[in-house]
Structure 1
């Protein structure tokens, strides 16, 4: 492989190096798994310092476009992307106050309505078995009073539900939303009731019957109720902190 990189002429040299590599990834000239030339060779081809190349590669590594591997067989390889960055961006926006709980719930209702409708049509027996096993595990944790552990199982249910659509974009979007919800749920603490577990059982009944409308209605009702419970608990915690301070 001998990609035809051009010498760099602008001020932000590392950005220009990154841009040229990204263009060649987008065009298909560079594909996942391809190994880039060594830093010294890249610096010569681009007409920049090795430091600029190194900075560019590290920037691309953070995005998942490049994987930097150590060792005798290591080097810079074209990566596979990093869907987790979507979740990180959503989390940052929520933590900075740019996204409210109301907006997050509204977006979840839109996304999850589409997800459960498609899942009702496409879910395989393996998908339904995985969802059922998840709910069984949540119930086991509830009985054992491991409420905070139950949070992560509940979050995974939504990821499994998105997986049942067999659509990679849906899985990434759901994963991003649920990473924010995971942080929020852990912040307010795990619920000490089985309301979500019961809601899951009703949803699974709809999915098994391929009742898309019923599945959407069940999920919407659950998210509405959960939102109200979250708001109440978050408000209670805020008041408790004010009293302490």
Structure 2
């Protein structure tokens, strides 16, 4: 509780890197706790990379990492350590990048698009054999594209996904395919930027999809040389096993690299929760690292509950159960600190929920059907004090059943954020419409109807948007009537979404 209070105080002060929040005595007094409780709280905050305790006359708890850097690292680290597969990663990128180009085509100004074209020209005019400069210019162009979406939540998720990709799949500068890959990447960037400048959303989505498919094929080829299979490959395995060689000269920190190796060894050894991994001296010798590097790796593993540290005789590292709670909490805290608008969350949440319904339908089984049916039954029996909670249960269940760690993680983040926004309990008649919509959606997902699941999720989101979004409540009955009409459009007439060409209006996840 005290660690959480410290993090909230840092966010409330604007995340001032380098500022001293107070010495140990001052913090004990501020939070009204004992020395031992404060020290444990500070240990947790230090593990999170948010602040560290500086010793000496002018010491105290110092705000450490910039907020965004801490969050991107937390999201990327969790996805790697949780073993996100290559297939999950590419599927999630297609969803998020598709949303990104749609928002850009809707929002970018002429001047912004001209500056984007200038960034492209810088990349295309640079020497193809200068890999280091090419990487720098590619990163700048990629960031410039994402910024035009004007959605901070989307930008952060994309940055984390790109980081995981970079850690997993890197080609050495001297590789015979390097020049061809550079040319192909530049061609893809040119096609995407030209489509965005033209405001051609369909061509932009096609460019994104084609680029991701080329990356999939390149990943398959690269994995074949490593005697690995694309379908079985995970970020954890690839990240851990690719650390022996430094292909770019810009590898992650030693502590992070070691955390991947330890986590991967735990998986490959078949260790289960509670099993002992080893003591600090044993593991430092096994991995040939210093105590400082080992402890940095352990802090990364601890915050995600991959391992736990047991003190005393016979202690050391024991296996835990991977838990996204820290990542969800820190990401939610950052989004609140950054004061993003509700529409930033809603736009991303909406795209993720549509994908979750499709992915869940594609891999549905008997236990999944039973879980979804049970949620709908709880919704039918819910009283007014339970409505909002059980409404979110279905979206959480679909995200879990999607089999995609990225979708599941960010659905949890959105749910945490939604808890901080006031939400009205809908009247009984409107609640019945929600439950009916969910029941139809569950039936489609349970039957494995991928296309119908997508359609019914969009129809359900129409109801959510009409009630919780910017649409006037007067339009609710019209929206409800359209939802019952198979020929109806996705959005109610004259809603902000329809006036903007069919894109969802701002609102909040429920």
TM-score (norm 1): 0.70
Q: 2:13 aligns with which of 26, 31, 35?
A: 31
Question: What is the root-mean-square deviation of aligned Cα atoms in Å?
Answer: 3.6
Q: CA deviation at 1:63?
A: 3.9
2:396 corresponds to: none
Q: CA deviation at 1:91?
A: 3.9
Q: Does 1:176 align with 2:175?
A: no
2:90 corresponds to: 105
CA distance in 1, matches of 2:178, 2:56: 47
Q: CA deviation at 1:83?
A: 2.8
Q: CA deviation at 1:180?
A: 1.1
SS in structure 2 opposite 1:192? helix
Q: Does 1:53 align with 2:38?
A: yes
Q: Deviations over 1:160-201 (max 9, x none)?
A: 211111211111111111111222342566732211211211
Q: CA deviation at 1:107?
A: 0.6
CA distance in 2, matches of 1:128, 1:62: 41
CA distance in 2, matches of 1:183, 1:75: 34
CA distance in 2, matches of 1:149, 1:234: 26
2:206 corresponds to: 217
Q: 1:229 aligns with which of 200, 218, 224?
A: 218
8 Å Cα contact 1:63-1:82 kept in structure 2: no
Q: CA deviation at 1:72?
A: 8.1
Residues matched between the structures, number: 220
8 Å Cα contact 1:206-1:212 kept in structure 2: yes
Q: Name the larger-Rg structure.
A: 2
1:154 corresponds to: 138
User: Which structure shows the bigger proportion of residues in helix conformation?
Assistant: 1
Give the 3 Å change call, closer, same or farther, for CA 126–212 of structure 1 in structure 2. Answer: same
Give the 3 Å change call, closer, same or farther, for CA 94–163 of structure 1 in structure 2. Answer: same
Q: Does 1:139 align with 2:124?
A: yes
Gap runs ≥5 in structure 1: 1-15
CA distance in 1, matches of 2:61, 2:110: 41
8 Å Cα contact 1:155-1:178 kept in structure 2: no
1:37-76 to structure 2, matched below 5 A, reads: 37-45=22-30, 46-49=32-35, 52-57=37-42, 59-61=44-46, 63=48, 66=51, 75-76=60-61
Give the 3 Å change call, closer, same or farther, for CA 231–153 of structure 1 in structure 2. Answer: farther
Gap runs ≥5 in structure 2: 229-240, 242-510
CA distance in 2, matches of 1:161, 1:71: 45
1:10 corresponds to: none
Give the 3 Å change call, closer, same or farther, for CA 192–110 of structure 1 in structure 2. Answer: same
Give the 3 Å change call, closer, same or farther, for CA 120–69 of structure 1 in structure 2. Answer: farther
Of the structure 1 ranges 154-163 and 79-88, higher mean CA displacement relative to structure 2 is found in: 79-88
Q: Deviations over 1:52-82 (max 9, x none)?
A: 4345235335546557678988754678962
TM-score (norm 2): 0.37
1:21 corresponds to: 6
8 Å Cα contact 1:151-1:182 kept in structure 2: no
8 Å Cα contact 1:132-1:204 kept in structure 2: yes
Q: CA deviation at 1:121?
A: 1.9
1:80-99 to structure 2, matched below 5 A, reads: 82-93=67-78, 95-96=80-81, 98-99=83-84
Q: Does 1:201 align with 2:187?
A: no
Give the 3 Å change call, closer, same or farther, for CA 101–44 of structure 1 in structure 2. Answer: same
8 Å Cα contact 2:23-2:59 kept in structure 1: no
CA distance in 2, matches of 1:53, 1:130: 50
Q: CA deviation at 1:85?
A: 3.7
Give the 3 Å change call, closer, same or farther, for CA 199–187 of structure 1 in structure 2. Answer: closer
SS in structure 2 opposite 1:83? helix
1:192 corresponds to: 179
Of the structure 1 ranges 64-73 and 33-42, higher mean CA displacement relative to structure 2 is found in: 64-73
Give the 3 Å change call, closer, same or farther, for CA 160–214 of structure 1 in structure 2. Answer: same
Q: Does 1:121 align with 2:121?
A: no
Give the 3 Å change call, closer, same or farther, for CA 37–147 of structure 1 in structure 2. Answer: closer
